Structure 1
Amino acid sequence: MNTQDKSSFWLIMSAIFFGNFLAVLSITTINVAFPVVMEQFDATLSTTQWLMAGYLLATGIVAPIVGYMGDQLSYKRLFVLALLGFTLSSLLCVVAWNIETLIAFRITQGVFGGMIIPITMTIIYQVFPRERQAYAMGLWSLASMLAPVIGPTLGGWLVQYFGWKSIFILNIPIGLISMVIVSKFIPFYRLTGKKRFDFLGFLTVVAGSSLLLLSFSHGNDWGWGSWKTLSLLISGILLLLFFIKWELRISSPLLQLKVFKFPRFRYSLILNCIVTISLYTGTLLVPLYLQTVLKLSPMDTGLIMLPGAVVMAAASPIIGKFYDRIGPFRLVITGVLIIVAATLAFSGIGVHTSVLYISLLQLVRCLGIALCNMPLTNAAMSAVSSEYSGHASSITNWARQGLASLSIGIFSALVVSRTSYYLGAGASTQRAATTMGIDDVFMIGTLVAVIAIPLTFLLRVKKKKTAHPAAL
């Protein structure tokens, strides 16, 4: 099952890299095409935004069931199926005849894109030998971080010179080439036997995830205290609580929650969630500050954010090399302390803070996130036996997707409420009130990051033990 040959490693890694790259890239390239799509199909912005929201919703819904599907089909077959579905749905987007069909095909693309992300992570831990997993995860993280960096720029260039359909046409040749590499070089294997399909678990997790993600995505627009948001939120939580209770009772669960019996997986997942929240704090607040307070254009904002994003992407494979030498603890504790310091510094910015200072702070903060991201993911995945790695990957990506939506929704609402508070308290200008509101939310982000500091030491404690948790 392990692939020792160096050329095979790079061929398999290329399929993993480009598959993951395409799935993440498709999230960020579509935004720049909104005006053109709205004009061609005579659609409103509220309708067109579902090209983005629908894709994200689909990726979050499908994540919990990937582990089961991989166990039944094998991850090689499932990867080929996901690439085929992603490529065909991209082709369907090209031939869409109205905004409704384009949204439908885009949601279908999101289903297969949401499968690709956990599949590629799982294959790393089931195909590559342990000594190459950290480096492979560094490359996987590079794809995840590089795609959002170049997505808006690449999408803008394609739309300007080749039209909005070129965004989807780009996926077709890369998807086909990746399918050939996967079919030829990834070995066929299945680590578990056939199991019956947990239909009730499937319905509850899909419905619960959908309701929660919808409430997270639209809570700021509807109002977090509105009956619509609260009903979706409560219903989603109740359905997921039922799902968890049901999965622990039955003999053939859809999602193996037994992975939480591995202590390092639990600790790493909690830390990963905190880092995800910290990531989206900056992703939301820094552009908001640059455009609403400093009055910079979207292009200038992107250029200021670019150095940090490039550092985060470039550092990932290098960190993967260091991981094998020093383990996760030193990398993660360094990253967490950097995140805390940089986020705290952001909480003190004002209406006249220089652009250079903002760019440097963002660069430092992104380096801290990079130092945490891959080591935490690898620490969690390597702690789980190969039999359950697909389920561990599904849970990890499911948690990230949900927290991304929740973080953006809550932080957006907090900025609005704190800005209103400062305006009512006598802030001299709208810009000053907005800045103070953003500062308050950065302080909240700092406190969230501080929670990670003591938790990081749990990684060190587990590292000292020589016994590996027994496979369940």
Structure 2
Amino acid sequence: MPQKEEGSRDIRFWPFMSAIFLGSFISVLSSSSITIAIPEFQRYFGAELSLIQWTLTGFMLAMGTVAPLTGYLGDRFSFKWLYVAALVGFILSSVLCGVAWNTYSIVAFRIVQGAFCGLIMPVTMTLIYQLLPRSRQAMAVSLWTLSAMLAPAFGPTLAGWLITLGNWQWLFFFNVPLGLVAVGLAVRRVPYYRLRVPKSFDLLGLVTVVTSTLSLLMAFSQSGTWGWTSGKTLALFALGVLSLVVFIVRELRTDSPLLDLRVLANARYLVTLIVSSIITISLYSGAFLIPVFLQRIQGVTPLETGLILLPASLAMALLMPLVGRVYGTLGPRTLMAAGVLLIAGGTYALSHLTPEISHTYVLWWMLVRNVGISLSTMPASNAGMEQIPPSLSGHASSISNWLRNVFGSFSIAIFTSLLSTFGAREAAVLMKQGVTEPRQLQLFAFVESINDVYLVATLITLAALPLSLWVRPQPAGLEPSPQAR
């Protein structure tokens, strides 16, 4: 049983959920609001998209890099105080982002902010699975996911409003009062407990997982510039894969692993982990490309972009509690399969964009995509975690959030690289067709490259369909086991 301080033995569901809800919300808000601001950063700092997109890519990479530390740090210092420390660090890094003076400083401070955000999501997920009874976990995960979905719902509109009425600095200063409230709720509403104390820190595991993540991300992000077969790209791929192999071998052999990979022996957890990673790739394809298309090609303002995306984001957020209620009746397989089909359908429709396409078309198919994301995200998370023992839930949530953030970073890097690669190819095709006016050539080539990327994203999404159909309903009364299916 968890060791608790006096007075924290009885957990009140709603006060507890309010404490982790706000922290999760501001963590994801810091990611979703920036997508609208990327064109504004380009104008303000005079930077190329390939550089300024690191305000998002670097943020996501930092989230993924620190996520493997969550299990160890939570066991060492308790998940309550790790959560509080992450919130405090998030507040301070938000202030630093707000006072950034050039492109490199805003990227650097965003990476620091991402590191603290990377602790918040896995910590809050672990708190749910270690403190709440199993009968309340599905609803709790729905509310936890809702906090992550409300941020994309309001983030773009809020960002557009703040940029239009003030400037981009307020995107970061806005986090400070919310963060202070989150700290107060966490101190009062989250109980102190520890399930186990780690024997030692796995430094080799940390070094190899960070090396692997950084090498692979750099290879994907720079492949469009260097070329997929260049020596630098191939060397980074080789280093990344080798470091990953060393990391896996190390974690399976050491007595105190940074990430306890035994949870991957649970086939159900492994499959849903793959589905979650694919959904993440699909999510970021829309979140990254559509704002750039609307502002760069159609010339709409940041506020207008947020308003165009608001209905789709709201629908995604408001469906989450309903998904939590029907999860026990419909089961994860039905919800995930339906969600994947909707995501794929909406993504395919967005591969037919033109410079003159209506905002209604974009809004509708983003709505279809986001409904699919809403149907599939919580079931994919909960279906795997519900069979993991509480003592391993910290490591399982760390792995889940690590891979989710890493694939989010990889997807942005890959999509940016593919935009460059496809753009050059489409420009060559258009020139052969007689399009020679520079601006027109650039415009149509860019739109066609976005369409090509969305077609690739559609194929990736469809790969999750057979995996979703494989997941069976959880048998009633089954005790969690790392070997259970």
TM-score w.r.t. length of structure 2: 0.85
Residue matched to 1:267? 271
Match of 1:112 in 2: 116
- Aligned partner of 1:21 in structure 2 is 25
Using the TM superposition, name which of 70-79 and 144-153 deviates more.
144-153
Contact kept? 2:160, 2:306, Cα under 8 Å: no
- Cα distance in structure 1, aligned partners of 2:368 and 2:294: 17
Q: Identify the match of residue 302 of structure 1 among 303, 306, 312.
A: 306
Distance 1:141 1:4, change over 3 A: farther
For 2:61, the equivalent position in structure 1 comes to 57
Residues 202-241 of structure 1: pairs in structure 2 closer than 5 A = 202-241=206-245
- Residues 10 and 465 (structure 1), Cα distance of their counterparts in 2 relative to 1, 3 Å cut: closer
State the Cα distance separating 1:79 from its structure 2 match. Answer: 0.9
Q: CA deviation at 1:346?
A: 3.4
Q: In structure 1, what is the Cα distance between the partners aligned to 2:237 and 2:301?
A: 35
What do residues 65-85 of structure 1 show as CA deviations (whole Å, max 9, x unaligned)? 111111222211211221222
2:474 to 459, 463, 470: 463
Distance 2:264 2:95 in 1: 40
Equivalent-residue separation in structure 2 for 1:163 and 1:111 (angstroms): 25
| 8 Å Cα contact 2:158/2:306 also seen in 1 | no
Cα deviation for residue 363 of structure 1 reads 0.7
Query: Match for 1:374: what amino acid?
Result: M
Deviates more, 1:123-132 or 1:336-345: 336-345
CA RMSD of aligned residues (A): 3.3
Distance 1:225 1:296, change over 3 A: farther
1:427–1:433 CA contact under 8 A, matched in 2: no
Q: Confirm or deny that 1:253 pairs with 2:278.
A: no
3-state SS in 1 of match to 2:29? helix
Any unmatched runs of 5+ in structure 2? 436-440
* Amino acid corresponding to residue 173 of structure 1 in structure 2: P
Counterpart residue identity of residue 443, structure 1: L
Q: Does 1:137 align with 2:141?
A: yes
- Of the three residues 47, 58, 66, the one matched with 1:45 is 47
Q: 2:191 aligns with which of 187, 198, 201?
A: 187
CA deviation string 1:104-133 (max 9, x = no partner): 544332221111111111111111222221
Instruction: Within 5 Å, give how 1:49-448 maps onto structure 2.
Output: 51-93=55-97, 104-158=108-162, 165-291=169-295, 294=298, 296-349=300-353, 353-425=357-429, 426-427=432-433, 429=435, 430=441, 433-448=445-460
1: distance between equivalents of 2:306 and 2:279? 22
Q: Tell me whether 449-458 or 364-373 shows the greater mean CA deviation.
A: 449-458
- Following the alignment from structure 2 to structure 1, what is the Cα–Cα distance between the partners of residues 106 and 360? 41
Post-superposition offset of 1:170: 3.0
Q: How many residues align?
A: 468
Unaligned runs of 5+ in 1: none
SS of the aligned residue for 1:239 comes to helix
Counterparts of 1:39 and 1:280, CA distance in 2: 23
- Aligned-residue sequence identity (percent) comes to 43
* CA drift at 1:259: 0.7
On the 8 A contact 2:275/2:468 being kept in 1, the answer is yes
Deviates more, 1:389-398 or 1:447-456: 447-456
Deviations 1:364-388 (A, max 9, x none): 1110111111110111211211111
Q: What's the counterpart of residue 450 of structure 1?
A: 462
Moved more, 298-307 or 388-397: 298-307
1:310 Cα deviation (Å)?
A: 1.4
Between the aligned partners of 2:139 and 2:454, the Cα distance in structure 1 is: 32
Q: Which amino acid aligns with 1:463?
A: Q
Cα distance change of structure 1 residues 333 and 51 upon mapping to structure 2, 3 Å threshold: closer
Q: Is the 8 A contact 2:219 2:237 kept in 1?
A: yes
Q: Which range is displaced more, 106-115 or 196-205?
A: 106-115
- Deviations 1:270-299, CA, capped at 9 Å, x for gaps: 111221222233334444554565555554
Contact 2:38 2:52 in 1 (8 A): yes
Report if the CA contact (8 A) 1:289-1:435 is conserved.
yes
Displacement of 1:466: 6.6
